[in-house]
Chains A and B, each alone.
Chain A
Amino acid sequence: MFKLPNLNIGKISLLVAIMTWLALLFVDITRLFGKINQLDSQIAPEVSYILQIIFFIMVYLFFHHSIQKSEKSNFLDLIWRGASTGLLATGVSLLISLFYFMLGDSRLASDPILKNIFYHIDFGFITIFLVSSTLLWKHLILYQKNKRIVNQWQGFEIGLLVSMFFVFFNQNSLDYSFLFGLGVLVIFGISLSVNLKWIPYLTFKEKWKSILYLVVILISSSYLFIQILSYSSSISPYLNLTDNLFLLSLFAFVFIYSLFSFLVTLFNLPTSSVFEQKLVEAINFQRLSQSIKPGQNENQVLDILMDSCMSAAYVDAAWLEILDVNGNKNVIHQRFVGNKERMELQKLIEETKPFSDFRWDNRANDSKTLIGKLPDFKYKSAMIVPLVIHKKTLGRIYLVKEVKDGFNKEMINIISTFVGQACISVENYRLLNEALKNERYKEELLIAQRVQRSLLPSKLHHDDSFQIHGFSEAADEVGGDYYETQELGEGKFAIIIGDVSGKGTSAAFNMSQMKGVFHSLVQLNPSPSEFLIKANAALSHCLEKNHFITTSYFVLDTVSQVITYSRAGHCPTLFFKAKENVSEYLSIDGMGLGVLRNKMYEKYVHQKDVHYEEGDIMILFTDGIIEAKNQEGEEFGYERLKLSVNDGHALTASQIQQKIIEDMYEFIGSSSLPDDDYSLLVIKFLQKPQ
């Protein structure tokens, strides 16, 4: 495949421009030579005009390309490029003048051919200066592009292109059509020259530099213009290249735009600090709004906030007072003021109106800034800005100035905005931390839950003479209900049910203590009353002052079919007598474990026996079942439990357990969730094994 070589427009245009210039020089000198020697070798001036236009276009292309290559350079570099080309062109022109000055009246000084060569050199540099400057201005004008300006600029370029060919129309004589064309292009140039939006982006120092460069450009263009005028008055023997509509229009444009830029930059100098300030504020705002990254703390945000507020209002001293968790005020971030001076000032401020009206507990402190005069020798005005998160004031910033009424509306607005943004950042940070902490708690609760679930037995001891079935449900992640069995041998079984006061993790811990106590004591094969007395003694040492455990302890003798039981503050056990088809609660006095933590406890422990027969049912439960409430606030209660058991007495132990739970759920309504733990242990006695 045929492939186009990668053309380098910059190099080619430069080469062509130089060659065109040389050709132009050769043509003009040849013509001049013919003229002087009256030879009949006249070359039409149109040849020179065509070469001149090609030269213009090539220079334009070259600079267009070279500026595009340095797209990223800043304004100052661009203006410097214009100024340096101006200096170069002026320098060359000055050197030529100096050369002729040194020649004095010698024959060489009046040699027309040498003069014409220098004229061409001058023409070349002036073209380079004007075209390059025009393209630089184009870059500046189109800095903030919109469609209108781009169109306007393209119109201007077309006008310039047309002006190049104008020379064929009137041979560069200064007639009305020339003046008309010049007038149109100058007005076009002026209308473009109001686009000076790049100037505010210069810093104060850069503005000074650009003023200097612009002055250089103005002087260069003025000098070169005068130089051209002097040429056109003494140029009669040769072809006039410089009284060209294109060049003169560029002169006007370059000069006007430089002048406008110079004046606007000059008058912008005093306000440039305002623009710089706004830029700093915008950056500060961005820094404040970036959420605090992990590993940092809110102190850093407050630090940025202090700096931002201080620079926004040019304050002379400032400090930040923060309310800690215990309500103590701590001063952090103290700037340009000593401890002693600050304390005196703070006292003074707090005694002065309107600052004395400040209330920490006011829930409407948000965006309520206080500004006022200070009766102090050094500091004349002060401002207090509260930091408010969720309507809670967590601190306040003090800003003081040495001048009276030092805070204007803009300062107050921007400071309020800063403070608002900082508060949002701090709040976000705290919420994030809380979320992380909650996540950790949930994790811990999950572990506690697993531990607690493993405390409830998965298997209950029994023999063929009775069925036993347990059920437990916790309202919280971890519950405090407990039941357990143990085989004592010779057909004897120990059964315990308990409820630990309180809820959640602490209840689960106490429950595990109860389990430990049960497994220790059951080894000694105690009677129920002995068990309770010993358990109370043991738990008295480990339970918190306001905690207790209620429990019922049973020893089941399947040989004599007798249940021996004691109750320690636990809800009474339901006993269904199959023979009479009635159920009743086993009444016995007793006191919760841990309620009385001394020898007196024994007085309150009782023990009873109950004889059972085949088909009898014993229901052990915790108060969650009884206290389960429906939407009207009515409790499930002892009577409904009784009815439920009476109804279901023919079922197996596990079916009875399911029926009770279903009845309870039906009563409370499926919509409400249990707010307590509830556990159930159903024991159904079968035929005595032979």
Chain B
Amino acid sequence: MLKIETKHDSNFTTLHLIGEVDASNSVELDEHISGLVDSGVQKILVDGSALEYISSAGLGVFMSYIEDFQEKNISLVIFGLNERVYQVFRILGLDQLIQIKSDKEEALRV
């Protein structure tokens, strides 16, 4: 089960991921992110504090936007991941390409 809440602030947009991202709902995450990219948002914060699990399909979604973000100069920061989910990002090496911070304050400072 995955629930995605979008919150727009003056200069950034927060995606709050609640639950698990797996092959069955990774498309949902993809649609949300591509919607934000199309709407011209410059800074995306992903709140992963309530994210319990992410599968390779979910990682694939984040991975597929890395080049897009670079081209369009969009910054995406993930924060609040629990240790287990963070390890999944780290093992794949995505932490070297996506900024992952421990909390929102840090994420906002980027």
Contact = CB atoms under 8 A, between A and B. Distances in A.
A502 B60 contact: yes
B93 A499 contact: no
Interface in B81-96: 84, 91-94, 96
A620 B60 CA distance: 23
B92 A591 contact: yes
A501 B60 contact: yes
A590 B59 CA distance: 15
A547 B59 CA distance: 9
Contacts of A548: 56, 59-60, 63, 92
B56 A604 contact: no
B93 A569 contact: yes
B93 A595 contact: yes
Given A499-B56, A502-B60, A596 B66 contact: yes
A501 B56 contact: yes
A503 B91 contact: no
Nearest to A504: B23
Contact of B92 (A546, A592, A635): A592
A502 B56 contact: yes
Nearest to B88: A623
B41 interface: no
B34 to A, nearest CB: 11
A502 B92 CA distance: 14
A623 B57 CA distance: 13
A657 interface: no
Contacts of B91: 550, 569-572, 623
Nearest to B26: A546
Given A502-B23, A502-B56, A546-B30, A604 B63 contact: no
Contacts of B56: 499, 501-502, 548, 550
Contact of B63 (A572, A589, A595): A595
Given A502-B60, A548-B60, A592 B93 contact: yes
Task: Name the residue in B63, B92, B93 with the highest tally of chain A Cβ atoms < 10 Å from its Cβ.
Answer: B93
Interface string A631-666: 000010000000000000000000000000000000
Contacts of B66: 595-596
B97 interface: yes
Given A502-B23, A596-B66, A635-B84, A546 B60 contact: yes
B64 interface: yes
Task: Name the residue in B30, B60, B66, B84 with the highest tally of chain A Cβ atoms < 10 Å from its Cβ.
Answer: B60
Contacts of A595: 63, 66, 92-94, 97
Interface in A479-505: 499, 501-503
Nearest to B23: A503
A545 interface: yes
Contacts of A499: 56
B51 to A, nearest CB: 14
Interface in A69-109: none
A502 B64 CA distance: 14
Given A503-B23, A546-B30, A596-B66, A591 B59 contact: no
Interface in A540-585: 545-548, 550, 568-572
A19 B61 CA distance: 108
B60 A596 contact: no
A494 to B, nearest CB: 22
Contact of B57 (A502, A592, A635): A502
A591 B64 contact: no
Nearest to A499: B56
Nearest to B84: A635
A545 B65 CA distance: 9
A153 to B, nearest CB: 75
A572 B93 CA distance: 12
A569 B61 contact: no
A589 B63 CA distance: 17
A157 B26 CA distance: 88
A589 B93 contact: yes
B53 to A, nearest CB: 8
A63 B69 CA distance: 102
Contacts of A501: 56-57, 59-60
A586 to B, nearest CB: 12
A545 B93 contact: no
A546 B64 contact: yes
B91 to A, nearest CB: 6
Interface string A178-213: 000000000000000000000000000000000000
A591 B97 CA distance: 10
Interface string B44-80: 0000000000001101110110110000000000000
Contacts of A550: 56, 91-92
Contact of A569 (B57, B64, B92): B92
Interface in A501-540: 501-503
A182 B100 CA distance: 115
A672 B76 CA distance: 37
B60 A604 contact: no
Interface in A572-628: 572, 589-592, 594-597, 604, 623
B65 to A, nearest CB: 9
Contacts of A570: 91
Interface of B: 23, 26, 30, 56-57, 59-61, 63-64, 66-67, 84, 91-94, 96-97
10 contacts: A499-B56, A569-B92, A570-B91, A571-B91, A572-B91, A592-B92, A592-B94, A595-B66, A596-B97, A635-B84
Given A502-B60, A569-B93, A595-B93, 10 more contacts: A501-B57, A546-B30, A547-B60, A569-B92, A591-B93, A592-B63, A592-B92, A595-B66, A623-B91, A635-B84
Interface of A: 499, 501-503, 545-548, 550, 568-572, 589-592, 594-597, 604, 623, 635
Question: 6 smallest A-B Cβ distances: which pairs?
Answer: A591-B93, A501-B56, A546-B60, A546-B64, A569-B92, A545-B64
